Structure 1
Amino acid sequence: MFGMAEANSRSILTYDLAEKEAEQAVKVAKNALLPSVDVSLSASYLGDGWIANRNFSDGANASMPHFGNNFALEASQVIYAGGAISNAIEMSKLQLQLAKLDKEKNRQEIRFLLVGNYLELYKLRNQVEVYQKNIEQTKRLLADINAKQNEGLAIRNDITRYELQLKSYELALTQIENSQIIINNQLITVLGLPQGSVIDIDTTILNNMPGMEDEALWQQAAGELSPVLKQAKLGIEHSQINEKIINAERLPSVALVAGDHLDGPITIEVPPINKNFNYWYVGVGVKFNIASTFKTGKKAKLAKLSTLKAIEGEKLLQENIQNDVKAAHVRLAESYTIFDTQKKSLELAIQNYEVINNRYLNELALITEMLDASNSKLSAELQVANAQINILFNYYRLKKATGKL
């Protein structure tokens, strides 16, 4: 089931795409390490100029070469940005790790959903068996009472009472079968199976029941494996890197620059010179945002508070996970106790059935007593099976709480 869900679940597919998106974001962030190259080319028509005195008197037209051209090539490479680029890359890598943990967390949720539905189908299957047996026995009892009424040994009220009971059993059976259809449909949807597929139950899973391990081992596993806890730890790193990026705004950025320009005509001369003029340059550029000296402080304080909040959130989450593991471990131990109790109840039900059966064979007990004893035995058998199913469910719930499912 888990393998089919990995391949077909739309939920897992969505998180898989989110992981790939985060991987691409890392590549995009690394682009900031590459040089920047700008190329421009233009051709234009230049109109005649106009020359006049400063008071705009004695104006006259000045002829111009009418074809203008411009070509520019500029390249720059940032060599220092106060850690802004490297920290931005680290930030994107953290986002990738968070996306992977989101996917893992979703995988755990899907698996627990599958386990819960699968074991619920098992219980419903047992309930169907109980009600089918009860319906069968009630019909036998009705036939027996009808025969006695014909002999004048029973009254109509007895028949009516058991007919009502039969209808009640049939209605309950219909509701259980409908629940089976609903849960089965949920399972085949998650697993990507064709509509109309029916999930059968492997009854041999009750042959290998999990053992009880010390709670400390589960708590240790939760601390190491829980994807939720890992996300909280990454959240702290995320906030710390964000602090570094904000503090980098206070530092200058340094870049190597180089360029080449080809312009024509030369219009800064009067009259203009109808020739091309080419020049190139290399150098170092320094840029500093003066406003950052009084703006960044508040942002840095906000980022620091975010980090402190993330740290406290991680501690709170640790406590919650420890409580969840504790509760799941207690419930697992409790389910073993319930199982032992149900086994004892089954022993008593079997003893009672054997006694009533012997009395019935010797015509010392009524059929109603026999049917009650049979129902009690059947119910006890199924309660034992359901108790085992509950052990499995609580075991998987404990695994989910630790992040091991």
Structure 2
Amino acid sequence: MSNTKIFMLIICMLVVVLLSNNTAFSQHEAKITLTLEHAIQTARENNKHIAKAELKKDIATQEVDIARDRQLPDLDFHTSYARITNLTEFHNGYSNKEVIKAIPDMYDATLSAKVPLYAGGRIKTAIEKSNKEKELSTLQVEKTTNDIEMDVIGTYLGIYKLMSVQQVINEQIKEEQKRLREVQALKRNGAVTKNEILRAELQLNNMQLSLITNQKNITVATHDLQTILNLSEEMTLELDTTNLLQMPALEDAYEAYLQKAYQKEDMRIALKHQEIALAERKEVKGGFYPTVGLFGSYAYKYPDYMLFPPTPYLYSLGMIGVDVNFSISNLYKNKKKMTVANKHVAESQLETSILKDEITDKVFKEYQQLKEIKERIPVTEKAIQQAEENYRIIKVKYLNQLALITDIVDADNALLQARFNNVSEKIDAQMKFYQLLYASGMLDQNKLN
């Protein structure tokens, strides 16, 4: 073989290796395995609602700077040029007039400044209100993040629940297929009728339909999770549920969860709205007071119309003083505004009280439901043992022609329901534990433990 052919062969082999590596890399990139913790972290980084809340926080931060700028002096520069006509003065009607020659060109350049000294506390209150709105936006980021994380947990555990059901259904289908073969064998020996074969086939078909529906539900739920995590639809998600179902423990008493719930972001947001309402009322109250400002200006003008007759000379003039403005109309207009502001304060206080009641009810409900589910799990485990034993007995009787096909189908369905109930209760317990943490404002401290 010539050197040229050997060289070309080596090149072809290298190309094949590179293409294989690229294909493997692409396949690796199109598939991602997510633990619950990884899913939560991905949501923090990618979710659009969290990004929107962060953007609103940035805007609120800029609004504080804008409010503070009201303390700075206002500087203005003005310049103009005009061409004027002669002055015509009329004496005793239009018939008797006198034309006075005017200086035709006029121009000026003026620099002025105004510094607010006192505005009834409105500027200071506006800054205070902006700071509180900034703090509110920070709390909104925290709330949005917790809401999205709770959505991730709920969707993730929902998918896991469907996957567990899928496993139960697959095992049941295997059992149905085995029983169908047994019934067909009995039919060949003349021990059963064709109707019993049809019944066994119908039961198997029902299980297969359930499998198809459940798989569709998994696909839809997985797509929902991809949307929350802002991942591409082309990416394949796999859930790493290793050691996920650890039995949650109620480490604190109900009162401890309740006290922590009163400090959660929802409650702090309500209190912050109350503080903002008080600041707005204070701002309205400032309308009853005058505004005081220091002003000054310096100008170059032409011609000199300060004296008479005007002279064609450029002149400069500066001034400084104090400007006081008091709105008499605000003495009666602001009364209605104050009434509305007082009602807003009362409304925010009432909303805080209502929210406190809702939080109390929510924590109590989640706490009691978690206790109930934990008590139900041992019952469902015992039910599986009973259903398995019942199925075994009915199956033996059926094979010995001491039971009908309907009896074994009923026993089979009871076993399926018992297994489903056990899986469902365990996942519901985990979900209810996270819901209790969320309701009590403890999700951030506990969700990764």
Say whether the 8 Å CA contact 2:247–2:430 is kept in structure 1: no
Q: How does 1:142-221 map to 2 (within 5 A)?
A: 142-195=180-233, 196-207=235-246, 209-221=248-260
1:343-369 deviations in Å (ceiling 9; x for gaps)? 332343465577789999999999998
1:23-49 deviations in Å (ceiling 9; x for gaps)? 111111111011111110112222222
Aligned position for 2:384: 346
Q: How does 1:234-313 map to 2 (within 5 A)?
A: 234-267=272-305, 271-313=309-351
TM-score scaled by structure 1? Answer: 0.91
Instruction: Report the CA distance between 1:247 and its aligned residue.
Output: 1.0
CA distance in 2, matches of 1:375, 1:126: 17
Q: Is 1:60–2:98 an aligned residue pair?
A: yes
Gapped regions of structure 1 (runs ≥ 5): none
Alpha carbons of 1:146 and 1:340: their partners in 2 closer, same or farther (altered >3 Å)?
closer
User: Larger deviation: 368-377 or 110-119?
Assistant: 368-377
CA distance in 2, matches of 1:206, 1:379: 20
Aligned position for 2:177: 139
CA distance in 2, matches of 1:326, 1:67: 84
1:118-162 deviations in Å (ceiling 9; x for gaps)? 111111111111211222221222222222222222211111112
Q: CA RMSD in A?
A: 2.7
2:320 match: secondary structure: strand
Aligned position for 1:227: 265
CA distance in 1, matches of 2:117, 2:103: 42
> Equivalent pairs: percent with the same residue?
26
CA distance in 2, matches of 1:193, 1:235: 35
Say whether the 8 Å CA contact 1:68–1:264 is kept in structure 2: yes
Alpha carbons of 1:320 and 1:228: their partners in 2 closer, same or farther (altered >3 Å)?
same
CA distance in 1, matches of 2:400, 2:181: 21
CA distance in 1, matches of 2:436, 2:274: 27
Aligned position for 1:85: 123
Tell me how many residue pairs correspond in the alignment: 404
Instruction: Report the CA distance between 1:403 and its aligned residue.
Output: 2.1
Alpha carbons of 1:216 and 1:340: their partners in 2 closer, same or farther (altered >3 Å)?
same
CA distance in 1, matches of 2:317, 2:223: 74
CA distance in 2, matches of 1:221, 1:118: 26
User: Larger deviation: 331-340 or 101-110?
Assistant: 101-110
Aligned-partner residue type, residue 227 of structure 1: E
Gapped regions of structure 2 (runs ≥ 5): 1-38, 444-449
Aligned position for 2:141: 103
Q: How does 1:5-44 map to 2 (within 5 A)?
A: 5-44=43-82
CA distance in 2, matches of 1:369, 1:218: 48
1:299-336 deviations in Å (ceiling 9; x for gaps)? 11221122112112211111111111111111111111
CA distance in 1, matches of 2:167, 2:414: 13
Aligned position for 1:318: 356
CA distance in 1, matches of 2:115, 2:176: 88
Say whether the 8 Å CA contact 2:297–2:319 is kept in structure 1: yes
Say whether the 8 Å CA contact 2:176–2:204 is kept in structure 1: yes
CA distance in 2, matches of 1:165, 1:377: 14
User: Larger deviation: 58-67 or 120-129?
Assistant: 58-67
1:82-133 deviations in Å (ceiling 9; x for gaps)? 1100101111112112222222222222111111111111111111112112
1:340-393 deviations in Å (ceiling 9; x for gaps)? 212332343465577789999999999998898787666545533332211111
1:28-74 deviations in Å (ceiling 9; x for gaps)? 11110111111101122222221232544531322222221111111
Alpha carbons of 1:85 and 1:18: their partners in 2 closer, same or farther (altered >3 Å)?
same
CA distance in 2, matches of 1:156, 1:350: 27
Aligned-partner residue type, residue 13 of structure 1: A
Instruction: Report the CA distance between 1:200 and its aligned residue.
Output: 1.4
In structure 2, which of residues 411, 414, 422 is the aligned counterpart of residue 384 of structure 1? 422
Instruction: Report the CA distance between 1:76 and its aligned residue.
Output: 0.9
Instruction: Report the CA distance between 1:228 and its aligned residue.
Output: 1.5
Alpha carbons of 1:325 and 1:383: their partners in 2 closer, same or farther (altered >3 Å)?
same
1:234 match: secondary structure: helix
CA distance in 1, matches of 2:369, 2:344: 37
2:248 match: secondary structure: coil
In structure 2, which of residues 72, 84, 87 is the aligned counterpart of residue 49 of structure 1? 87
1:213 match: secondary structure: coil
Say whether the 8 Å CA contact 2:168–2:419 is kept in structure 1: no
Aligned-partner residue type, residue 257 of structure 2: W
TM-score scaled by structure 2? Answer: 0.83
2:96 match: secondary structure: coil
CA distance in 1, matches of 2:96, 2:131: 68
Alpha carbons of 1:175 and 1:374: their partners in 2 closer, same or farther (altered >3 Å)?
closer
